[in-house]
Structures are given as structure tokens and as C-alpha cells.
């Protein structure tokens, strides 16, 4: 299990489960005082994708004084399976290449970065759109838990903290 601390008291907990009959990886968004939200689950329920590129890019820097996975390159590589964004920009390729090289991949890792940005094999890359009324990114993917706004189950204060954590803003026009 890995903890990827976020702002506003949030964390993404990565849980690897290796059993005799099933091996899965689950990514939970956790916050003290609220129920956890599943961002991604690779068991038979096939839950994902959980984040679009603007959200993932916003959470790469760790909050000051955070405990857990704080290196931005490690955070990117660890959270990359949560991503499934069919409109990931060119800067995403560069960021993944930099992270791969920082953790031992050879120069010329751009083809691997592009493949990794193609989304998890269970759900691929999906279209996302920003809902200005909800101030949240929404995913059109069949298996995505993000067909409704992330943080819908949170209190108003928790939702505001999540928005600040993810730097939820309208995309550039």
C-alpha cells in the first residue's frame, strides 16, 4: 500500500492485492471524516478511469511537509494507471518521459510514454469534459466512477478542499 498525499487533508491510497484467485489494484481517494471514494479498481468490477490530465498534473507536487510518496516523478508513475484521458496534451508525454528517465528508463522512452498515456487496458483513454456548474471534470467512460462530479458525497467544506487540491478550473479555451 502506498499513500500519495494531496492538499486539503486528502490522500490517494494505492492498494495492491495479490491473492490466489485474484490480483487487483485499487486507488482510493480518502479524506478524514468522509467516506472513501474509489477512483480505480482493477478487479472484476472494472472501475476507471479516475482522473483526467489537468487533475493529475495538478496533484503531482506534494504538499509541503507531506508524508508518503512525495517525489513528483514517482507520484506520476504511481498514479498513471488512474489516468484515462483521450485529450492528454503533448506536455503529458514529456512529463511521463521525464518521470521514466528519472526512475531508470533509458533515453528514447517516448514510445513507452505514449503507450502508457493510452489508458489502462481495461478502459483505455476516455473523453472528459468540464462542468462549470459542478466545478468538476466528468468522464464519459462506461466504467468511470467520474460520470458524476468527484466529491459529490463530500460536505461543502470537503468539496471546497478537494477543488483546491485538484486545482479544478475550466480548461483553456
Distance CA 147, CA 15 (A): 23
Question: For position 158, what pLDDT does the model report?
Answer: 76
Question: For position 168, what pLDDT does the model report?
Answer: 67
- Average pLDDT (20-33) is 85
The answer to whether 150 and 137 are in contact (CB under 8 A) is: yes
Lowest mean pLDDT among 41-50, 80-89, 118-127: 41-50
pLDDT > 70: what percent of the chain? Answer: 97
Question: For position 162, what pLDDT does the model report?
Answer: 79
Q: For the chain, give the mean pLDDT.
A: 89
- Average pLDDT (122-138) is 91
Amino acid at each position: 500500500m502506498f499513500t500519495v498525499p494531496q492538499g486539503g487533508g486528502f490522500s490517494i491510497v494505492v492498494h495492491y492485492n495479490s491473492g490466489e484467485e485474484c490480483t487487483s489494484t485499487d486507488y482510493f481517494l480518502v479524506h478524514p471524516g468522509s467516506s472513501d471514494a474509489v477512483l480505480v479498481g482493477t478487479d472484476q468490477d472494472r472501475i476507471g478511469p479516475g482522473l483526467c490530465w489537468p487533475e493529475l498534473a495538478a496533484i503531482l507536487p506534494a504538499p509541503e511537509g507531506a508524508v508518503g510518496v512525495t517525489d513528483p516523478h514517482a507520484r506520476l508513475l504511481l498514479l498513471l494507471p488512474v489516468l484515462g484521458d483521450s485529450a492528454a496534451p503533448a506536455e503529458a508525454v514529456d512529463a511521463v518521459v521525464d518521470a521514466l528517465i528519472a526512475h531508470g528508463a533509458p533515453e528514447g522512452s517516448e514510445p513507452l510514454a505514449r503507450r502508457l498515456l493510452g489508458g489502462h487496458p481495461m478502459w483505455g483513454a476516455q473523453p472528459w469534459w468540464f462542468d462549470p456548474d459542478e466545478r468538476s471534470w466528468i468522464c464519459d467512460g462506461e466504467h468511470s466512477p467520474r460520470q458524476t462530479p468527484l466529491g459529490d458525497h463530500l460536505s461543502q467544506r470537503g468539496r471546497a478542499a478537494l477543488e483546491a487540491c485538484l486545482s479544478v478550473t475550466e480548461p483553456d479555451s
